[in-house]
Chains A and B, each alone.
Chain A
Amino acid sequence: MAPKPAQKALGPIRRSFAPWLDPSAVPLIRFENVVKRFGDFTAVDDVSLDVHQREFFSLLGPSGCGKTTLMRMLAGFEHPTSGRITLAGEDLAGVPPYRRPVNMMFQSYALFPHMTVEQNVAFGLKQDGLPKPEIAARVAEMLRLVKLEPFAKRKPHQLSGGQRQRVALARSIAKRPKVLLLDEPLGALDKKLREETQFELMDLQMELGLTFLIVTHDQEEAMTVSDRIAVMDHGKLVQVATPGEIYEQPNCRYVADFIGNINLIEGTVESAGGGEVRVKGEDTPGAFVCAGDAALAQGSKVALAVRPEKMRVSLDAPPADATNVLQGEVWDLAYMGDWTVLLIKIDGSEKVLRVSRANMTRTEAKPIAWDDRVHVWFAPDAAVLLTS
């Protein structure tokens, strides 16, 4: 989509957009202790969640974690076993899907095969009984928005995958729903098209001022598009936070491991206090120091989580003030262009650490190669202390 002047003006608003931090803000969608069971299987387990107006919110998790069920309950295709869902203060229990002010973009797109692109987009508007000229105008506007004007008279099977995705999108926003639900919207597209579409979705969401709730298993996608992400596992919410917080401050091993790559060093607390925690490594030899105020008892089990890009690696000895220094041998090396990823086996253990280096120069006098002996270290504040 072409850049629009209005978008620039929205920039600063976007940057300071955090209604979830404002205790007086009234959320648009509220899930209150929602449970959904299918027979013996608990798909959604006591989920309470607030989503605010104009938020781009992601439900992220592996397949079967309950994220789709949660979304389908909001659309009205499933009913909570217990708990309450409200939208703009209205309890949705007993409201059938065709009377809810939410629209959904389906994973399979679910385009009506016997209707043209135009008729597909007009379908929802027709149900509202809008006058014909208004429907025609709105359809034309939607098709312009998703750049499908030349394809208005085509049937879905005469379109490419990317075009079908756009029709589905146009159809689901044509009614200006309070909330747009997107079920793995980009799963069927190839990588390049997917990335383009992610940015288009973000522009569209800002332009229309809608609230987007997206279900995805692709953590990169969730990071790119979302204001906040809810990470789900086995029907429970594990962490709800901004992409930055999820990445930099995961609250448990599951989230740390699920989002991006991370090194987990298991250990026990030796001492805690004075703004730092000292940890004795279990699967990795050595003593580590980590920044943190957590009051942890001596001997409690913890894990130090360190992102690969926050580890330093060098052939030469590290600077004298370096902390958490380890020695090892380069096991594997992957040159990715912008980054080089090194897998380093730590001496005296089976531990393999993943370290990534930005390739900031085109050539290096002494490049790191396979089987090289290297020093690896990380700063105390590079590690996150995980207790669960």
Chain B
Amino acid sequence: MTKGLSKINLTALTFGFAFLYLPIVLLVIYSFNASRLVTVWGGFSTKWYVELWNNQQLIDAALRSVQVGLVSATVATVLGTMAAIVLVRLGRFPGRTLFSGMIYAPLVMPDIITGLSMLLLFVAMDLSRGMFTLMLAHITFSMCYVAIVVQSRLLTFDRSLEEAALDLGCPPAKTFFVVTLPIILPAVISGWMLAFSLSIDDAVISQFATGPGASTLPIEIFSAVRRGVSPQMNAVCTILIAIVTSGVIIASIATKRAEVARMREERAAMAGR
């Protein structure tokens, strides 16, 4: 056994990270390019960010994305949590396999098919396409992700906690809100965040579900790029990356801190202090 990195490991690591991050690094670097041409370096500049600030169309699209994300993630979390509870708690009922299969199907369904079927449904129902249909579509595809996250938490949930609440005189519905939900809340929140980021990120299904005047940020970026790549898009993407990265870093630091504090308290308790 050798400690440290062997040559092979080092090479694998370099290639792996290069594959993952080279495109992103390039994108970030060129967002600060003074040149209008995406592939030619013309010196450092922040002018694309300034231009972005004045691009009302793009800002509107970003706000719309956040709006759709907030609404659809919230509704998807409620529905997904309910589905997870049914799957974990009801045990074996006729059609359980079919039901769970149907919840997971959207995970593997090509976006194109989901989007197209949404479009057909909306047309058949004579729903005018806009923000509302966009939210419906986002709820549909993000709900199953929430269901999976919450379900895995419920599987390890100690049922005797709920029994204890019932035993102490708390009716079942109230037990869910005062005992079960607070304990599984971290999973519900991460389900919400997953649903939110899926919604912000989606372009394909949104293309089908949206209508005039309701395009989201990914749709705007798509159509802008089709007209020719502008460094402005690099700037938008860099801002998105910054937001996501800082979110992840803050979340992981908070989790780590809570973990360390908990470990310390448990050790102290066991030592009899």
The chain A residues found within 8 Å of chain B, CB to CB, are 75-77, 96-99, 102-104, 106-108, 110-114, 123-124, 127-128, 154-155, 157-161, 163, 171-172, 175
Contact = CB atoms under 8 A, between A and B. Distances in A.
Contact of B183 (A113, A127, A154, A157): A113
B269 A97 contact: no
A127 B158 CA distance: 21
Given A77-B163, A110-B164, A124 B169 contact: yes
A172 B182 CA distance: 21
Contacts of B182: 114
Contact of A97 (B160, B161, B167, B179): B167
A41 to B, nearest CB: 16
B1 interface: no
Question: 6 shortest A-B CB distances, which residue pairs?
Answer: A124-B168, A127-B169, A110-B164, A110-B160, A97-B166, A158-B265
Given A124-B168, A160-B272, A97 B163 contact: yes
Interface residues of B, number: 23
Contacts, number: 75
B266 A103 contact: no
Given A108-B160, A114-B182, A114-B183, A160 B269 contact: yes
Contact of B265 (A98, A123, A157, A172): A157
A103 B167 contact: yes
Output the residue of A77, A104, A110, A128 with the most chain B CB within 10 A: A110
A317 to B, nearest CB: 57
Contacts of A97: 163, 166-167
Interface of B is mostly: helix
B124 to A, nearest CB: 45
A172 B163 CA distance: 12
A159 B262 CA distance: 11
A235 to B, nearest CB: 22
Interface in B140-181: 158, 160-161, 163-172, 179
B167 A75 contact: yes
Given A124-B168, A163-B269, A112 B163 contact: no
Most buried by A among B160, B167, B265: B167
A158 B266 contact: yes
B12 interface: no
B161 A112 contact: yes
Contacts of B172: 98
Contact of A112 (B171, B179, B262): B179
A110 B269 CA distance: 18
Contacts of B161: 110, 112-113
- Most chain A CB neighbours (cut-off 10 Å) among B158, B160, B168: B168
Contact of A110 (B158, B169, B265, B268): B158
Interface string B257-273: 00000100110111010
Contacts of A157: 262, 265-266, 269
A123 B269 contact: no
Most interface-central of A99, A102, A104, A127 (chain B CB within 10 A): A127
Contact of B160 (A102, A106, A124): A106
Given A103-B167, A124-B168, A108 B265 contact: no
A15 to B, nearest CB: 33
A51 to B, nearest CB: 18
B167 A158 contact: no
Nearest to B272: A160
B160 A175 contact: no
A175 B168 contact: yes
Contact of B167 (A98, A108, A128, A163): A98
A128 B167 CA distance: 12
Interface string B40-62: 00000000000000000000000
